[in-house]
Structure 1
Amino acid sequence: MLTKGQKKAMQALNSGCNVFLSGEAGTGKSYVLTQFLREISDTKNVLVCAPTGIAAINIHGSTLHRVFQIPLGPISPTTNPLKISGPLEKADVIVIDEISMCRFDIFEFVAKSIKRAEAKAQKKSPSKTTKKQLIVAGDFFQLPPVMTQKDRLILETYWDMDIGDGFAFEAPMWENFDFASIILNEVVRQKDDVEFVTKLNQLRCGNKSGIEWINIHATPKKQKSIHLCGTNKMAEDINMRESKKLTGKSSTYCSDISGSVNPTDKPTTDKLTLKVGMQVMTLVNDSKNRYQNGSIGIITSLHDDTVDVSFAKGENVEITPHTWEIIDYKITTGNEKSKVEEVVVGTFRQLPLRIAYAITIHKSQGQTYDAANLSPYCFAPGQLYVALSRLTSIKGLHLCGQIMPQYLITSQEVLDFYASIENTGIPESEQALEKKSVKNSKRGGARVGAGRKQKYGVETCTIRIPISAKKDVLAFLASRKWD
């Protein structure tokens, strides 16, 4: 059953306009996309993509790099697509899930590829409409794209500007798509804990007033569940320490790989060493609904190719190897016309498990836990919000230390971006689109955050300036007399 907001989202998706589908954690963005893709799969050519291999597997699609043949490493503004693939040229609809994980230079390359594919198709069929529908889904208030310091330095040199957190909406071509913005706000994940939802919404937007309530209402009892950590080192140390406590024999289960499988496509390790008593997390949904992706359990016995796991409900389940398919797209020619179809380019077969005494907050994004222990130290925008919003209720949250106000970090660029867009829905007419386009053009080439009324009545905005001009701008600001 779709919520009111999800129905509005479906209406926009089915209208054919470009859509930015966003909303709080747990509002069902991926669910809406899945329903939409099911409806149009027989009538339209669709490409489904995500920035990472795991995110692509979760939506049964392919990675952006594979579909758009994106070069590895930082991409300069002068880099253009060398070749447009047949599937991209024929695609009617392009879906990008988890858009918050997509770095701005990668989105810029994708945008150039789409526009070039439209132009190529138009040249071949001048009388036909060749515009492609682009749908991007995700929440920019969650974790920003992963970026090394080396990548940051290269990108700032290429683009001659402070790139901030490198979100996709900072790409110059983002504005060219005139997205209808649909912001879902009916939370499904924590639907039975209304006050928890209210506090999460405050934290999502950088309002620290919800921190005290979380500190007070989290359970003092340590949970027999996963430990969420801000850093890889802490998660690795906990997993190693707890694993060493287990006595008895261990068994190692090896993956079976065929075709083209990249390291980032693998949901778990090639060699999985397990012991009886070990805490693990499932990585897929069970067809019989005995466990879901992210369920926590304890191994009760080991077999040659399978293991038995006991879950919180008390049910002992035999876990068998799972085959993940790595997807790409190809064109097939039928009786009527050519069609874009999925093709399996590789498979990864392994037990759908991960040792799960601890996991980083980054790796927990997209999952749901009934209970978890949290070390609240966070250092990245959206990190604390992602960790807390994994829980279905405050009753299942144990804090391994007090949440300090400085742990809540919210990107000003994201605040400005959401303030600059509206829950627009479907554009009413071409005239409405034209007015929106004029409004965007007045901002200039670089993205400028819309003014935001603060509680003191001060208008603020975020403006990207070239690094080469930063010294002159700072000198100008210092020379001004401010009231």
Structure 2
Amino acid sequence: MVVFAPTYDCVEFVNEYLCSLIPGKEKLYLSADSMCKDEMSSEENAQIYTTEFLSTVSCSGLPSHRLKLKENVPVMLIRNIDQARGLCNGTRLQVVRMGTHVLSCKVLSGKNTGDVVFIPRMTLDPSNSTLPIKFQMRQFPLMISFAMTINKSQGQTLSHVGLYLPKPVFSHGQLYVALSRVKSRSDIKILIKSESGGLSSSTSNVVYKEVFMAKMMTSLARAMGLMVAQPAATVTTVLYYSDLLPRSVDFDRYRNTDMGKYGNGYGETPFSKKLDTIKWGNA
């Protein structure tokens, strides 16, 4: 089972909590952070961007400065190491043994499931181009993966999913991505928190009309034969009802409704159509 959350802060909270529940001795791995050589030529940079400051920088594509691991904890690779062996960005692993410089892990996903691999410390560069300086981190390219962001889950089909929403989703299509990772309604559990901190049965959805209106016009133009040829690099986008998600989803309203399976071959989901006209089946 995997837990989805809208933001990285929520993911970290879930991962730390669930890791604390697993028995066993916890081992802390600290990263070694330093500026790149071309940045160290400036004395001003050396005084401002100290090692202590660099350790506080958190951005996409970098592991945590303080990586806490236990045996049997699931982790996820955040770098491509060996594509032939399936060790790619997003591969899920399980920690088997913890050394000082190398971790022994078992592959949990992909065609090499069950293989035992060794993950070393690596020198990692942040991919965020908005940072004022260039620096590098030496750390294991891993993050605990009890939970992951909704955006990271795109393209995956899972047997059981928990959706944790302490705050609403923030981008178009994000709620649809989370709900459609499983094949049936019974395989997903949702925890929603209201602004006051209590439990809730409804959440807000983000819908940009301009997105699906553009898709609709493109689809109509193709149907009318107005768009015959297009560049080879262009990806054809077809408008489904799943793009027309409601602005608010009330889960209590359909708790006892036979929703059937997610996806009927036409890109539709239980929340694809208007809330007052949801019907299931291939019709």
**TM (normalized to structure 2)?**
0.52
Structure 1 unaligned blocks of 5 or more: 1-222, 330-343, 428-453, 455-483
Q: Which amino acid aligns with 1:292?
A: C
1:383 alignment partner AA = Q
In the TM superposition, residue 346 of structure 1 has moved relative to its aligned partner by 3.8
Larger radius of gyration: 1
| 2: CA distance, partners of 1:321 / 1:417 | 46
Residue-by-residue CA offset, 1:209-235 (whole Å, 9 max, x unaligned): xxxxxxxxxxxxxx3xx2112466653
For 1:272 and 1:233, the matched residues in 2 are separated by 15
> 1:384 is matched with which residue: 170, 175, 181?
175
The one-letter amino acid paired with 1:350 is Q
Q: Summarize deviations over 1:301-326 as a string: whole Å, max 9, x none.
A: 11001211122322221111233345
Cα distance in 1 for partners of 2:12, 2:153 equals 18
Q: Name the structure 1 match of 2:73.
A: 278
Equivalent residue, structure 2, for 1:416 = 213
Task: In structure 2, give the amino acid aligned to 1:299.
Answer: V
Are 2:264 and 1:264 aligned?
no
Q: Deviation per CA, 1:80-100, whole angstroms, max 9, x where unpaired?
A: xxxxxxxxxxxxxxxxxxxxx
Unmatched 5+ stretches in structure 2 = 40-53, 193-200, 222-226, 233-240, 242-283
Match of 1:351 among 130, 133, 140: 140
Change (3 A) 1:276 1:355: same
Write out aligned runs for 1:175-190 (5 A). none
1-side partners of 2:86 and 2:157: how far apart?
15
The answer for the alignment partner of 1:448 in structure 2 is none
| Distance in 2 (alpha carbons) for counterparts of 1:385 and 1:358 | 18
Instruction: Return the letter of the residue paired with 2:162.
Output: L
Change (3 A) 1:399 1:406: same
Task: Tell me the distance in 2 between the aligned counterparts of 1:251 and 1:382.
Answer: 38
Shift in Å, 1:412: 0.8
**TM-score scaled by structure 1?**
0.33
Distance, in Å, in 2 between the alignment partners of 1:308 and 1:374 is 28
1:295 equivalenced with 2:91 (yes/no): yes
Code of the residue aligned with 2:94 in structure 1: it is: I
Q: Is the 8 A contact 1:253 1:305 kept in 2?
A: no
1:284-312 CA-to-partner distances (Å, cap 9, x unmatched) read: 23413233322222211110012111223
Other structure's SS at 2:177 match: helix
Instruction: Report the CA distance shift for 1:232/1:351 in structure 2 as closer, same or farther (over 3 A).
Output: closer
Letter in 1 for 2:11: A
State the shift of 1:246 in Å.
2.3
SS across alignment from 1:304 = coil
Give 1:305's aligned amino acid. H
Query: 1:251 aligns to what?
Result: 27
Q: In the alignment, what sits opposite 1:323?
A: 123
Letter in 1 for 2:120: T
Cα distance change of structure 1 residues 407 and 327 upon mapping to structure 2, 3 Å threshold: closer
For residues 43-442 of structure 1, the aligned pairs below 5 Å read 223=1, 226-230=2-6, 235-257=11-33, 258-259=35-36, 263-264=58-59, 266-287=61-82, 288-312=84-108, 313-326=113-126, 345-362=134-151, 364=152, 368=156, 373-375=161-163, 379-380=169-170, 381-388=172-179, 391=181, 394=183, 398-401=187-190, 409-421=206-218, 425-426=230-231
Identity %: 20
Contact 1:266 1:348 in 2 (8 A): no
User: 1:229, 1:375 within 8 Å by CA — same for their partners in 2?
Assistant: yes
RMSD: 4.1
What per-residue deviation string (whole Å, max 9, x for no partner) do you get for residues 150-180 of structure 1? xxxxxxxxxxxxxxxxxxxxxxxxxxxxxxx
Does the 8 Å contact 1:235/1:358 carry over to 2? yes
Q: 1:328 to 1:229 in 2, by over 3 A?
A: closer
Query: Does the CA contact (< 8 Å) of 1:295 and 1:369 recur in 2?
Result: no
2: CA distance, partners of 1:244 / 1:328: 31
Shift of 1:379: 3.5
CA gap 1:372/1:270 in 2 versus in 1, 3 angstroms: farther
Partners of 1:246 and 1:269 lie apart in 2 by 20
Amino acid at match of 1:382: G
